[in-house]
Amino acid sequence: MIICIVGMPGSGKGQIVKIFGNYGVPHVSMGDVVREEADKRGIPRTPEGMNSVSIQLRQELGDNAVAKLTIPKVKELLKKHKAVIIDGVRSLDEIQTFKDAFPDEEIIIIAVHSSPRKRFERLSRRGRSDDPKTWSDFEARDWKELKFGIGSVIALADYLIVNENHIEEYQKEIEKLAEKLGLKESEATS
């Protein structure tokens, strides 16, 4: 099983990864794949740098470039695990790339939604170098994400979790979903 996590920046995708990890499900972050590429190319991990790398990769390898670079990591994890999370899917092209690469795996899409204000607050606290520093930077990043096609993936998700309230409520929702998907630590590994 491949579990694709989609959501706008700061929506809470990382919390799903963390909790599903408690069930023994490993993950691959598509954002980390882009950051690794930036490092290889000597491009700084700033919002502009990450945008530049994303564009370069898509020009070189197509719209599904990041998905293509993610596949070997997922294949390696599937050798030892029955389920793998792919965090940060942004387009239907990427979903289709995973379906083509893993025809025997069930692909499940989980979308996380949070309001823009809530996401901006979280990103401001997170403090990663490629996080937006101002509201206008934040809005520009959102538009960039939407242009990549993230809204279409969210619209077609198998499951939607709204993350607006206390962390405890969100964690309970994630745990309920893990159980619904049949995830148990003893079953997550082969």
Quick one: average pLDDT of 111-140? 91
- The tens digit of pLDDT for each residue in 29-87 reads 998 999 999 999 999 988 789 889 988 998 999 989 999 999 999 999 999 999 999 99
Radius of gyration of the chain (CA): 16
**Tokens representing residue 40 in the block:** 């290889």
Other beta carbons within 10 Å of 186: 7
* Among candidate residues 182, 4, 12, 27, the one with its CA nearest the CA of residue 99: 4
Q: Following DSSP, what letter does each residue of 83-137 receive, concatenated?
A: -EEEE----HHHHHHHHHH-TTS-EEEEEEE--HHHHHHHHHHH--TTS-SSHHH
Asked if pLDDT for residue 139 goes beyond 70, the answer is yes
Quick one: average pLDDT of 164-185? 91
Other beta carbons within 10 Å of 127: 8
- Cα separation, 65 vs 44, in Å, equals 20
pLDDT for the residue numbered 127: 79
pLDDT for the residue numbered 68: 97
Element (H, E) at 5: strand 2-7
Q: How much is the pTM?
A: 0.89
Structural domains of the chain in order of their starting residue, each with its CATH number:
2-181 (3.40.50.300)
